[in-house]
């Protein structure tokens, strides 16, 4: 329910909804969905078994074009996605083998981790994390944080937010590539 700008509600319409209702396109798959992530104008749903569906605005739904109803994200057909997260303008998918893919708006902050601030309409592997297995991830409008299976926290995007309470520990400016940040190790679930 709510506003359906760019089809974010997944009902095939751009009309606002005042009551909650099941997303028919997802129900028709007969799949059990284990995670949902919603941005301002797009959404992702992860099915048991690792299939990923996206809809809404095209720059972050994984299709490269606006989709008012959920469709399987083509980049992940035949692969097993294990985690998803979104911000207002970008998305992340972590694979069963530990790789991380990001897409959407890179803004001027570099929160996609591809070394620049460019928009990435289709999922793209974050090469800077090739030596680690991603266990969890969270993304915001300006940065992304990732915990690897060893509990090391990696960050990219707007540097000053990485201080986590210690401004002297935070890099200044933008961090364009995944960088381990000086924090205690964490346990991802």
Could you read off the pLDDT of 158-179 as tens digits, one per residue? 876 665 545 555 566 788 889 8
Per-residue CA distances from 144 to 33, 66, 71, 104, 156 (Å): 24, 24, 25, 13, 6
Residue 146 lies in a domain: yes
In a domain, residue 156? The reply is: yes
Q: Is the pLDDT of residue 180 over 90?
A: no
The structure's pTM equals 0.90
In a domain? residue 110: yes
- 182 CB-side CA count, 13 A: 8
Q: How confident is the model at residue 185 (pLDDT cuts 50, 70, 90)?
A: low
Structural domain span for residue 44: 33-180
Evaluate whether residue 11 is within a structural domain.
no
* Residue 107 pLDDT: 66
In a domain, 17, yes or no: no
Residue with the bigger pLDDT between 74 and 59: it is 74
Residue 15, domain member (yes or no): no
Please tell me the predicted confidence (pLDDT) of residue 96. Answer: 95
Burial classification of residue 185, based on how many CB atoms lie within 10 Å of its CB (0-12 exposed, 13-18 middle, 19 or more buried): exposed
Question: Got the DSSP string for 22-70?
Answer: --HHHHTTTPPEEEEEE-SSEEEEEETTS-EEEEESTTTSSSSS-EEEE
pLDDT tens for each residue of 82-126: 999 999 999 999 999 999 999 998 767 889 999 888 899 999 999
Q: Is residue 55 part of a domain?
A: yes
| CATH number, domain with residue 107 | 2.130.10.30
How many structural domains comprise the chain?
A: 1
What distances in angstroms separate CA 135 from CA 93, 132, 146, 150, 155, one per listed residue?
11, 9, 8, 9, 14
């Amino acid at each position: 329910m709510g506003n359906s700008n760019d089809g974010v509600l997944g009902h095939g319409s751009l009309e606002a909804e005042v009551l909650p209702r099941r997303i028919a396109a997802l129900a028709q798959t007969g799949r059990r969905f284990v995670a949902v992530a919603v941005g301002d104008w797009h959404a992702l749903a992860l099915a048991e078994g690792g299939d990923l569906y996206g809809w809404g605005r095209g720059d972050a739904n994984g299709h490269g074009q606006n989709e008012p109803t959920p469709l399987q994200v083509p980049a992940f057909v035949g692969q097993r996605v294990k985690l998803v997260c979104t911000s207002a303008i970008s998305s992340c998918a972590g694979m069963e083998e530990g790789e991380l893919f990001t897409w959407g708006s890179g803004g001027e902050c570099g929160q996609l981790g591809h070394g620049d601030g460019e928009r990435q309409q289709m999922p793209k592997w974050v090469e800077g994390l090739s030596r680690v297995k991603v266990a969890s991830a969270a993304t915001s409008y300006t940065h992304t944080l990732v915990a690897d299976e060893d509990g090391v926290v990696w960050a990219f995007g707007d540097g000053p937010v990485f201080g986590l309470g210690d401004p002297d520990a935070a890099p200044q400016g933008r961090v364009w590539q995944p960088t381990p940040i000086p924090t205690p190790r964490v346990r991802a679930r």
